[in-house]
Amino acid sequence: MTKHYSQHDLLRFVYGETSAIESENIVVLLDTDDDFRKTYKNLLTLKVAMTRAEKTPSTALIENILSYSRATHLHSV
């Protein structure tokens, strides 16, 4: 019997949380079901966009954090 895969399963697949067997079955379904594939592409596009939308803090802030770490290390030695 073919297992039905929901959009929740697809979401877990996009985030790498499905088991090997589930992943294999979902890949087969992506090849055969246009709607499923379209939903997958939309999810993946948003996932990539959210990663690309990441911002980097200022260099000064990172230097402050590293300086604090070095200073506390010196005090704790």
Partner 1 sequence: MNYNMRSHSAFSKSSTTPRYKMIDDSSLVNLYKEGDEKAFEELVNRHKSKIYTAILLIVKDTYLAEDLMQETFIKAINTMRSGKYNEQGKFLPWIVRIAHNLAIDFFRRDKRYPTTELDDNGQMFNTLGFAEDSAETAQIRKETYTRLRVLIQQLPEKQREVLIMRHYAEMTFQEIAEATGVSVNTALGRMRYALINLRKNMTKSNTDYDQALFSA
Interface positions with partner 1 (CB under 8 A):
7-8, 11-12, 15, 17, 41-43, 45-47, 49-58, 60-62, 64-66, 68-70, 72-73, 76-77
Q: Give yes or no for a contact between 19 and 3, defined as CB atoms under 8 angstroms apart.
A: no
Token reading at 12 = 């877990």
Shortest CB 59 distance to partner 1, Å: 9
Residue placing its CB nearer to partner 1 in the complex, 21 or 74: 74
Give dist(CA 9, CA 21) in Å, integer.
Answer: 12
Query: 67: part of which helix (H) or strand (E)?
Result: helix 59-76
Shortest CB 21 distance to partner 1, Å: 18
Residue placing its CB nearer to partner 1 in the complex, 24 or 64: 64
Shortest CB 18 distance to partner 1, Å: 11
Scanning the structure block, which residue is given the tokens 């959009």? 7
Q: How far is CA 59 from the centre of its chain?
A: 26
